[in-house]
Chains A and B, each alone.
Chain A
Amino acid sequence: MDGGHMNLARVIDGHAADSPAFVDGGRTVGYGELRARVAEMRSALADRGVGVGSSVAIASGNDGAMVVSLLAVLSLGGVVMPLNPTSPTPELTRKLDVAEPMMLLVGNAGRLYLDDDQISVEMVDLVELDAAASAAAGADAVVVSVDRPADAVAFHLATSGVSGAAKVAMLSHENLSFVHEAMKQCEPSIHSGDVLLGVLPFTHIFGLNAVLLAALEAGACVVLQQRFDAEESLQLVRQYGVTILSGAPPMWHRWANSDAPDDSLQTVQRAASGAAALPLGVFERVRERFGVEIGQGYGLTETSPVVTLARGAAIKPSSVGQVLPGVEVALVDESGEPVDVGDEGEIVVRGPGVFLGYLRDTEATESILSGDGWLWTGDVGIFDEDGYLFLVDRIKDIVIVSGFNVYPAEVETALMGCAGVSGAIVTGTADEETGEAVVAHVSGTATREQLEAHVATQLSRYKRPTRYHFHEDLPIAPNGKAIRRALR
């Protein structure tokens, strides 16, 4: 940081030119070559009018072109909006309509968009642009990144957000940079010799900041994987000696149950999971098979994203870890009064990682961010005596039966434990007698009688579902989160 000015693109400065920055499709690219490619891309984008404050959307998988282009846009003082290259066009255009970027860079994974006349934003073929930049790039270059105020917007990230509707979060250079600095204070931190698997999508804050940018800032190497494939991931881990492996719970589930050899993770020193709750069974299976303990973290797009993480102390399997240094976390009741340790409360967060607000949506911003910087997450958690955080559920998903809180996640876990259940989502519905009643949506072969008999051994009476609905498929997001609102 320079007198309140900075630029996130400088994460690639200062590392040895021949030190590997990323591996893309079997080819290792050093920091020198990366800087040279960013410098060339920067010129090309400047020629197309990208400058300070320009918003540029990038629809690409995790490949070299995406890494180079997002750094180039940042370097010019622009704002990057990474977009999922496999989204259906209407979803993509909804996000583009909110952010109104000046152009959309279309990477290899999103090529179909190029011929889609429903997209009105100017589209540029990122594959061509990157090929030209690569061809022109020398062995190294100095990237002159413009100074930006620390609180200048660096990213526009589309998020389902705390309140459920699609929104675009504005994150500053300082927001993301703070997380890198704070993570360095947590042992083990990322070092220049580390190798990370880059399989979490860089269109999501977890993959973008806690994997890609944090790794580049530390001078480490990211092995890019464009599309998740469990066997291929583990092959890459073995081939490149990955030391830090981060994944979402469904990835861990598939790695745990893959046919790969049991020594596949022998180089892994740190394993991390985030984005959704990691089932205890997956933690145990990974530990048993690979000898690795997964540390869970907790965060949101709106917090860049790290709020808590496994900080090197003993891992508690069901916990999402301890608070990141420099971040304040309180658990509060409805009035904002902190609850006692051991009681559940809404997680509220304050710190340099908390975002600037939602783009062109003051009302949404003011519904979660207080004037003095506290972000009300809508998540319910409990601290234990050692300061480890345990997540309970989303506050608005709580079902209240006869005045008692029923957390759908607990009921879902109980249902999933019944033989023949492949998926379970729990919601609430109005009930004349008890205020609300617990409703189970279940997929699989289990019958109502089997489910009732099973939950009777697992749950207090008021938590047991009184209504059952059976489905072929349930709405579960790719990161493993149940989309309960789809069933209400």
Chain B
Amino acid sequence: MGRTAPFHFESAPELPGADHVSKYLFGGIRNLASRLWHFEIEGRDNVPEHGPAIIAPNHLSFCDSVFVPAALPRRVWAIGKGEYMDSWKTKHLFPAMGMIPVDRSGGDAAQAALDTAASVLDSGHLFMVYPEGTRSRSGHLHKGRTGAARLALRCDAPIIPVGHVGTLEVQPPDTFTMRVRKPVTVRFGAPMWIHEYGDPQDPRTLRRFTDAVMFEVAQLSEQKYVDRYASKDDTPAAVSVANVDGTSNAKGVDRAEHVRITPRRPSVVGSSAPSAPSRPAKISRPTGRPSELSADGPVETSTPPSMPLRESAKHHPRRSRAEAVRTTKE
């Protein structure tokens, strides 16, 4: 798709970016995307022409927030930090791209963000959220947060799984500039409805649905899936660019657009559970139980003393999850 695909700049006077400046700014960005990059869009028909839907892409690069909106046939909104409105560089551009600023200083920022997202969907618009919660540093697709599923349930909206390829090469981590003439492909999957995944009042359904969405994203993005949340501590992906040397040359870019919509409270119940929402300490592991995983794979465990054991005393170590991880498309 070399030329700009048809697009509807839908009217939403109640939301940011409804003005003419935004309209032309966004139109310009869409034009640039198709001229400056080898921009391919697949499965665009999967995005409903009308009504609410949650756009759920993988997240590799800051510029995902440019390419995914540019690939859609309709406008899309997303939550962004309120601080962006303080900078002259972003205060016009980001709302034009559909960013709704949310103040994170309040008590329950995640709830405020969720409410804002719900109001977008309830008005019949598209809302975009990265289910991984943050950018993947490892290059793999990470476990999805359940916020998108909660929104889907609350607003009776489908989730459109989205997978894109190439944005990491366009804008590698810690860079501010975007490299032109690289190939970027954005793929949209078929709409998914939470009600097809079980009793919506059962917390297992949220997780089941989220995992199903991530599976579809993995198929579309051709990424390997790893069943743990993306973390800033993950080992960076090997990207063939000159300036990836671990130093940041663009302050602020890393802490980009992440306003969470999934409430986070530790699963601890009982007398020693802290009343404050601080995270309790780690639970100690049994000494006789091998620890199989670190962030990047199996950890070496000390060999248990070689003493003769009865059959009943033998370990049944759990399989290492990392061992079983394979790419979804090889």
- Seen from chain A, the residues whose Cβ lies within 8 Å of a Cβ on chain B are 98, 163-167, 316, 318-319, 322-323, 326-345, 348, 350-351, 361-372, 374, 376, 382-385, 387, 390, 392, 395-396, 400, 402-405, 410, 433-436, 460-462
| Cβ contacts under 8 Å, B326 to chain A | 402-403, 433-435
User: A-facing mask of B291-327, CB < 8 A → 1, else 0?
Assistant: 1110000000000100001111111101101011111
In this complex, the member of A350, A374, A402, A434 whose beta carbon has the largest number of chain B beta carbons within 10 angstroms is A402
Could you tell me if A341 and B327 are in contact, using CB atoms closer than 8 angstroms? no
| Cβ contacts under 8 Å, B330 to chain A | 433
Could you say which of B77-85, B115-123, B180-188, B275-283 contacts chain A?
A: B275-283
Nearest opposing residue in chain A for B279, CB measure: A338
| Cβ contacts under 8 Å, B291 to chain A | 334-335
| Cβ contacts under 8 Å, B311 to chain A | 165
9 A-B pairs with least C-beta separation? A328-B270, A366-B288, A331-B267, A400-B324, A403-B225, A338-B266, A435-B324, A367-B288, A336-B282
Could you tell me if B203 and A370 are in contact, using CB atoms closer than 8 angstroms? no
- Seen from chain B, the residues whose Cβ lies within 8 Å of a Cβ on chain A are 146, 199, 201-204, 206-208, 211-212, 214-215, 218, 224-228, 262-273, 279-280, 282-289, 291-293, 304, 309-316, 318-319, 321, 323-328, 330
Report which of B265, B279, B313, B323 forms a contact with A341, defined as CB distance below 8 A.
B265
Report which of A323, A365, A462 forms a contact with B288, defined as CB distance below 8 A.
A365
In Å, the complex CA distance between A352 and B319 comes to 31
In this complex, the member of A167, A328, A329, A334 whose beta carbon has the largest number of chain B beta carbons within 10 angstroms is A334
In Å, the complex CA distance between A174 and B211 comes to 43
In Å, the complex CA distance between A374 and B318 comes to 18
| Cβ contacts under 8 Å, B318 to chain A | 395-396
| Cβ contacts under 8 Å, A335 to chain B | 282, 285, 291, 293
Take A343-B146, A395-B318, A400-B324 as given contacts and tell me if A382 and B286 are in contact as well, using a CB distance cutoff of 8 Å.
no
Nearest opposing residue in chain A for B140, CB measure: A403
Report which of A350, A351, A461 forms a contact with B215, defined as CB distance below 8 A.
A461
Could you tell me if B289 and A166 are in contact, using CB atoms closer than 8 angstroms? no
| Cβ contacts under 8 Å, B279 to chain A | 338
In Å, the complex CA distance between A364 and B328 comes to 37
| Cβ contacts under 8 Å, A323 to chain B | 269-270
Could you tell me if A404 and B215 are in contact, using CB atoms closer than 8 angstroms? yes
In Å, the complex CA distance between A372 and B284 comes to 7
In this complex, the member of B225, B263, B268 whose beta carbon has the largest number of chain A beta carbons within 10 angstroms is B268
Could you tell me if A166 and B146 are in contact, using CB atoms closer than 8 angstroms? no
Report which of A330, A387, A433 forms a contact with B280, defined as CB distance below 8 A.
A330
B109 to chain A, nearest CB (A): 15
Nearest opposing residue in chain B for A413, CB measure: B198
B140 to chain A, nearest CB (A): 8
In Å, the complex CA distance between A462 and B208 comes to 12
A381 to chain B, nearest CB (A): 8
B106 to chain A, nearest CB (A): 20
Nearest opposing residue in chain A for B316, CB measure: A163
B219 to chain A, nearest CB (A): 9
In Å, the complex CA distance between A488 and B34 comes to 53
Could you tell me if A404 and B227 are in contact, using CB atoms closer than 8 angstroms? yes
In this complex, the member of B206, B207, B312, B325 whose beta carbon has the largest number of chain A beta carbons within 10 angstroms is B312
| Cβ contacts under 8 Å, A433 to chain B | 326, 330
In Å, the complex CA distance between A348 and B268 comes to 10
| Cβ contacts under 8 Å, B324 to chain A | 400, 403, 435-436
A396 to chain B, nearest CB (A): 5
Could you tell me if B204 and A338 are in contact, using CB atoms closer than 8 angstroms? no
Could you tell me if A336 and B284 are in contact, using CB atoms closer than 8 angstroms? yes
Report which of B218, B268, B316 forms a contact with A338, defined as CB distance below 8 A.
B268
In Å, the complex CA distance between A115 and B325 comes to 55
In Å, the complex CA distance between A383 and B207 comes to 12
In Å, the complex CA distance between A334 and B286 comes to 11
Report which of A361, A366, A374, A390 forms a contact with B283, defined as CB distance below 8 A.
A374
In Å, the complex CA distance between A339 and B266 comes to 6
In Å, the complex CA distance between A384 and B227 comes to 21
In Å, the complex CA distance between A404 and B287 comes to 28
Could you tell me if B264 and A340 are in contact, using CB atoms closer than 8 angstroms? yes
Nearest opposing residue in chain A for B147, CB measure: A342
Q: A163-B315, A382-B203, A410-B208 given; name 17 further pairs at CB < 8 Å.
A: A98-B312, A328-B271, A330-B269, A333-B228, A336-B284, A336-B285, A337-B282, A338-B279, A341-B267, A367-B289, A367-B315, A370-B285, A370-B287, A395-B318, A402-B218, A402-B326, A434-B326
Could you tell me if A396 and B316 are in contact, using CB atoms closer than 8 angstroms? yes
Could you tell me if A371 and B284 are in contact, using CB atoms closer than 8 angstroms? yes
A327 to chain B, nearest CB (A): 6
| Cβ contacts under 8 Å, B327 to chain A | 402
B276 to chain A, nearest CB (A): 14
Could you tell me if A167 and B289 are in contact, using CB atoms closer than 8 angstroms? no
Could you tell me if B286 and A376 are in contact, using CB atoms closer than 8 angstroms? yes
Could you tell me if A329 and B268 are in contact, using CB atoms closer than 8 angstroms? yes
A401 to chain B, nearest CB (A): 8
